[in-house]
Structures are given as C-alpha cells and as structure tokens.
A and B are shown apart, each in its own frame.
Chain A
Amino acid sequence: GAVVSQHPSRVICKSGTSVKIECRSLDFQATTMFWYRQFPKQSLMLMATSNEGSKATYEQGVEKDKFLINHASLTLSTLTVTSAHPEDSSFYICSARGGASVYEQYFGPGTRLTVT
C-alpha cells in the first residue's frame, strides 16, 4: 500500500515551453502533497506544500507564477513549470501524506526534466 506515482518519468522540452508533471496517490487519499526539486548530489529542496482544494504554500524563493501547483483532488496534484528555462532542469519529486502512517511521506519515483 501507500504508492505514489509520477508522470512523466522523464521529459525534455524546449526553452519557453510549459511542462506539466502529475503526482497521484494510488491507494490512499493524500491530504497533503509536497513538491521537491533535487540537483545532482544535493539535498531535496521543498518547493511547495499543497492541500486538496486550497492554494499551495510556496517556500521562500520559489516563484508561484512559474511553478503552478494544483491539488484538484485527494489523489492528484500537478506541478506546471511555465516558460521553462535550462536552469529549471532538475529532478522533481512529489510526496504525499495521508496514508495509514500519520507522519510518513510516500515519495513518487521522480521526474527528470531537461530544458534545452
């Protein structure tokens, strides 16, 4: 149980285009979902926290107009990188809370974004 999926796993896009990444909790209702980005050999950096039906809470330094987050249902959150630039190339990981364990976060497999 407590499986989180992400789609796509890899995406390559051209500079200036937008990319949408989906995060789904497959067998539980995720009351809270998190979006992280990770650069090579670095830590996971929390970008934003989203609760179903409400606006996401963004971390300091994260542009909310550039990284659009929609938590439309208890099983789906999406991250849209708008007008992508090469510096947005990174590993994006979502996680979800709300399974049987109160504290545990269940991570998706991640999405490797490359902007050319």
Chain B
Amino acid sequence: GQNIDQPTEMTATEGAIVQINCTYQTSGFNGLFWYQQHAGEAPTFLSYNVLDGLEEKGRFSSFLSRSKGYSYLLLKELQMKDSASYLCASDTGGFKTIFGAGTRLFVKA
C-alpha cells in the first residue's frame, strides 16, 4: 500500500527552529519531495532527496533515511511568512508522486 504520515499541525515561534517529520511506505521509491503550500495556492518545490543524509538550502534543510523510510524538513530562523502547509511526497517512479496530507505550520510572534 501507499502510506505517508506527517503531523497534522505544528506551532513554532518566530526566529526559532522547527523540524517536520515524515515517514513513508510506498511501493517504489526514487526520492522524497518537500513542498510548501500556502492556503488557496499551488504547492511550490522546496527539496528533493535521493540519497541518505542532510541537504541544506538556505534556511531550509531536508534529511532522508531510506532504510528507515523517514525524512524531515528543518526550518531555521522562522519567519511569519513560513506559516503554510508543508507536504511530504514520495516519488514512486514512473513519474508518479504520492503526497502526504501535509503539516500546517503556524508561526507566532
């Protein structure tokens, strides 16, 4: 079956660091996407991990462990504009991507 789990909601303070976890179990796996989606808008690409380890890109970093079926997105120096949903998605191959339900992040002052 296809299963992607991530927390429904998280709250963090402006300037802080937050880690959003994702576990996945999909038939076929090429890599793991993270997308950001503001309410009423389409998702925007954040990262794509193929190999195990941490990839850093500015304030955002993404980690993957293929053996554990686990990934996380790390957001540093949180800003109010980071309030959004963060979608974890598995690239299952054949151009098919399975999305998690998303984690709604609320950043408070």
Chain A nearest CB: distance from B80 CB in Å?
A: 21
B100 touches A43 (CB 8 A): yes
Interface residues of B in 10-53 (CB under 8 A from A): 30-31, 40-45, 48
Q: Is A64 an interface residue (CB 8 A)?
A: no
In the bound complex, CA of A105 to CA of B45 (Å): 8
A contact residues, total (Cβ < 8 Å): 22
Number of interface residues of B (CB under 8 A): 21
B41 A43 Cβ-Cβ under 8 A: no
Q: Are B101 and A42 in contact (CB under 8 A)?
A: yes
A4 to B100, CA, bound (A): 22
- Residues of A in contact with B (beta carbons under 8 Å apart): 32, 34, 36, 41-46, 49, 91, 93, 97, 103-110, 112
**Which residues of B are in contact with A by a Cβ distance under 8 Å?**
4, 30-31, 40-45, 48, 87, 91, 95-102, 104
Query: 3 smallest A-B Cβ distances: which pairs?
Result: A107-B42, A43-B101, A44-B99
